[in-house]
Chain A
Amino acid sequence: MRGKGQRWTRFLCVILLLGSLPRANLLRAQEAASQTPREHQLDLDSFEYVWKTVHEKHFDPTWGGVDWKAVHAEFRPKMEAVKTRREARAVVRTMLSRLKLTHFSLIPSELYGDLSRPESGAGEPGVTGIHLRVIDGRALVVSVDPGSPAAQAGVRPGWEILQIGGKEIASQLAAIAREFEGKSLKDLVLTDAVAGRLEGKQGDCLAVSFLDGADRNISHSLALVEPRGAKFQLGNLPPVRVWFSEKTVGPGIGYFAFDVFLAPGILMTAFNNAMRSFMNAPGLILDLRGNGGGQGEIGCGMAGWLVLEKGRDLGTIRTRDNALKLIVRPRPQVYPGPVAVLVDGLSLCATEIFAGGLRDLGRARVFGTRTGGAALGGNIERLPNGDGFMYAFANHVTAGGRVLEGNGLVPDVIVQHTREALLQGRDLILEAAIDWIRDFK
């Protein structure tokens, strides 16, 4: 239910796990070009930088049991033999995949936007306004941005996406589903496989075929437009979109949704204002479905509105040398009512830590489906060849002692969309949360 901004953060988490992630077309041509001797050297230097960083900064000094020096010996010759940037990246990604963890990934240099360029325009990343989930092997529209090309074309929640750009997607989804069966990242990878194809450059058009509510095949040519939300860049993180929505639902229940834990100046200001206005609401719903995570301290700041007791925490992060609790500092005024948190397989990292932490503190009930299980503390550095390199310097354990990485957070109430409900304009997860709050004693 989110746009491109947060898809990028999800992309960072899983890029190494999926060999063929959809990416912008501009990438394909550039990374396939033959290297000059200087570019080759830069790739070699980058390889060494990556290996050394993992060697020195991985939170586990045993690298999860992997013989990291032997890995260097194995991959260095392969790196020396590469002919293109694509091959170089593949070698590094394969090397990193030996760690079997999220948050160890490469970010192609081509995908770093130039913030000095205008906010929007031709050539900038563009989207259709469709948000989807893959449910039971079918790519279903779950929401459509108001006023977007998809909305103007009449695309509705519950429609199934059959083809994009003339290519059907079912077989790819089936293959991915087999590969990721049982893994916490399955929903994320499936959804992004389709969502990635729905992206391109602003101004371009994309042919999309749907199965509509009456089971008819319908095709639309959808223009790609600027994604929703404010453009934001933090350090070496590529630009993302920060989006939030505040409203009341049901019997005056406060509702706040956002797509990423970033840009505290924007997000926390909005959240703080929302909490002040919701202080007398009968309940609060935090919709974190599709939230790709970000800065964990934002979750601590939000939790300060919800947790009355001092000295409580959202778990512990452990680096190679330290253990730090994610301390919640109660606000002068704390919301006393019931809190529901909505999550799904695209809820990652800071989102999982926040939701899991609130639940362990007995402060929230979690609704939806299992989260993505990508909960590590990461940092991004730029490599000599210009690529970004994300690595985990810390792991996380909830206050209840659970490790979310690789496992995800299983909601208290498991509920997911169905095509029938979506076609009726219903959101079953949100409804379950509203019902719980309505009946809350």
Chain B
Amino acid sequence: MSLKTGRTAGFVLTIAALFTELALVSVGGSLALPVQNTPPRAEQILDQYVEAIGGLAALEKINNRVIKGTMEIAGAGVKISITAFQARPNKACTVIDSPATGRIETGTNGEVAWQVSALAGAQLMEGKEKASFLHMNIFDRAVYWRRSFQKVEAAGEEEVSGRPCYKVVVTPKDLPPQTVFFDKETHLVVRIAMTIENQAGTIPSDSYLSDYKRVDGVLLPHKTVTRLMGQERITIMESIEQNAQLPPERFDPPTEIRALIKK
């Protein structure tokens, strides 16, 4: 019997992706959309979204986040605790621990990306896997979307959970495009469809963001439901602390990774 056979690589990256979706949520720019009859341009939709979640001034006061939560594989009875640390400009470290996975730490100091786990030991990411991971962990990458994405394009309208939304396709440099859905009324991101690339292959991922709550003046989603590999993964952010007192070495590569870097 093989349970979730061979999912480690995609699985871990996906968890990281779930949390970096928060970075997409907390975006920047504060241009209010003028009243108009023609469909807004992608740039306008993104800027309006920034305004909706609190505005650039509030967002730029945030230097780091500590997110604690759980991820449950719906129906399978598997629940995993997750702690994610994120900091400007592009640092991140996600720790998951469960009987199903053991302890897995995935992180980047902005230059190297790594994973340390009982399953696979110490690993440095390379190639597209690394590029994807580094991109996903740009702090508030959507705040600075003009830098984070090579191209943004409006792609019409589509309903998400019965609500009308704008579709915007954002394309990072050298990575596959992502489709982001913005609620037409609240201007919040409610869905992100993307592909995750790693050595195992390309994994389509479809995430639905909800339960927005204001934290330090910024609206952040506290629930994400991700459809991936035929499963539904429910991530609940139980607490989000911003501008936490983090030790300077928080994002340093672990000892095992430093040994690999020296090789």
Contact = CB atoms under 8 A, between A and B. Distances in A.
Interface of A: 9-10, 12-13, 57, 103, 232-237, 261-265, 268-269, 272, 292-298, 300-301, 304, 311, 313-314, 317, 319-327, 329, 331-332, 348-350, 353, 374-382, 390, 393-394, 396
Contacts of A393: 229-231
20 contacts: A57-B230, A233-B99, A234-B99, A236-B75, A265-B118, A268-B119, A292-B1, A300-B6, A301-B120, A322-B201, A324-B6, A324-B229, A325-B6, A325-B201, A326-B200, A348-B1, A377-B4, A378-B2, A382-B77, A394-B5
A298 B119 contact: yes
B122 interface: yes
A167 B211 CA distance: 61
Interface of B: 1-11, 73, 75-78, 99-103, 117-123, 198-204, 229-231, 256, 259-260, 263
B120 A294 contact: no
Most A C-beta atoms less than 10 A away, residue of B2, B200, B230: B2
Contacts of A380: 3, 76-77
Most B C-beta atoms less than 10 A away, residue of A235, A294, A394: A235
Most B C-beta atoms less than 10 A away, residue of A9, A13, A297: A297
B65 to A, nearest CB: 28
A322 B8 contact: no
B203 A295 contact: no
B9 to A, nearest CB: 6
Q: Is the interface of A mostly helix, strand, loop or mixed?
A: mixed
Contact of B2 (A301, A324, A377): A377
Nearest to B257: A332
B10 A324 contact: yes
Contacts of B3: 234-235, 237, 262, 294-296, 377-380
B147 to A, nearest CB: 31
Contacts, number: 171
Contacts of B7: 296-297, 324
Contacts of B1: 9-10, 12-13, 103, 292-294, 348-350, 374, 378, 390
A350 B2 contact: yes
B6 A377 contact: yes
Contacts of B259: 332
Nearest to B101: A264
B231 A379 contact: yes
Contacts of A265: 99, 102-103, 118
A326 B229 contact: no
Contacts of A332: 121-122, 256, 259-260, 263
A323 B201 contact: yes
Contact of A235 (B76, B103, B119, B263): B76
Given A235-B77, A326-B200, A379-B76, A263 B99 contact: yes
Contacts of B203: 322, 324
A342 to B, nearest CB: 20
B210 to A, nearest CB: 23
Given A272-B121, A300-B119, A319 B230 contact: yes
B19 to A, nearest CB: 21
B74 to A, nearest CB: 9
A111 to B, nearest CB: 15
A332 B9 CA distance: 18
A321 B201 CA distance: 12
Given A325-B201, A393-B230, A272 B5 contact: no
Contacts of B204: 321-322
A324 B102 contact: no
B120 A300 contact: yes
Contact of A301 (B73, B99, B100, B118): B118
Contacts of A319: 229-230
A326 B6 contact: yes
Contacts of B230: 57, 319-321, 393
A331 B121 contact: yes
Most A C-beta atoms less than 10 A away, residue of B1, B199, B202, B263: B1
Contacts of B260: 332
A405 to B, nearest CB: 11
Contacts of A379: 3-4, 75-76, 231
B113 to A, nearest CB: 13
Given A235-B76, A325-B6, A380-B3, 18 more contacts: A10-B1, A12-B1, A103-B2, A269-B118, A292-B1, A295-B100, A296-B3, A297-B6, A313-B200, A324-B10, A325-B201, A327-B6, A327-B198, A332-B122, A332-B256, A349-B1, A381-B76, A394-B5
